[in-house]
């Protein structure tokens, strides 16, 4: 289900944790961090970080972007803009 049906405080904690993992692994541009929430304790656990997740219209990362109001074409354009900016900075 995307977006996940979570209380606002849990969703905020999941986002914070995912960003921390993204930064820890030195990801750039885009990645997908998968979490699981324990039903009994509510504890969030990182399952994996996907530095090259699927990028079709039905993949999870574009679905998550869409859930935040970023359409597929706009998401792809944003990824390309980030890559071009990084390439330009490295030149």
Say how far apart CA 76 and CA 88 lie, in whole Å. Answer: 18
Say how far apart CA 62 and CA 68 lie, in whole Å. Answer: 10
To the nearest 10°, report the CA torsion of 45, 41, 8, 60.
40
The dihedrals phi and psi of 52, each to the nearest 5 degrees, come to: -135, 70
pLDDT digits (tens, 9 = 90+) for 2-30: 788 899 999 999 999 999 999 999 998 88
Whole-model pTM: value is 0.79
Domains and CATH numbers, the chain: 8-90 (3.30.470.20)
pLDDT at 83 over 80: yes
Where is 34: in which H helix or E strand?
strand 32-37
């Amino acid at each position: 289900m995307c977006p996940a049906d979570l209380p606002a405080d849990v969703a905020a904690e999941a986002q914070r944790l995912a960003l921390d993992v993204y930064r820890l692994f030195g990801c750039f541009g885009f990645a997908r961090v998968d979490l699981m929430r324990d039903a009994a304790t509510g504890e969030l656990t990182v399952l994996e970080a996907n530095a090259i997740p699927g990028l079709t219209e039905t993949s999870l990362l574009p679905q998550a972007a869409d859930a935040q109001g970023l359409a597929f074409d706009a998401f792809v354009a944003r990824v390309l803009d980030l890559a071009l900016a990084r390439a330009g900075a490295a030149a």
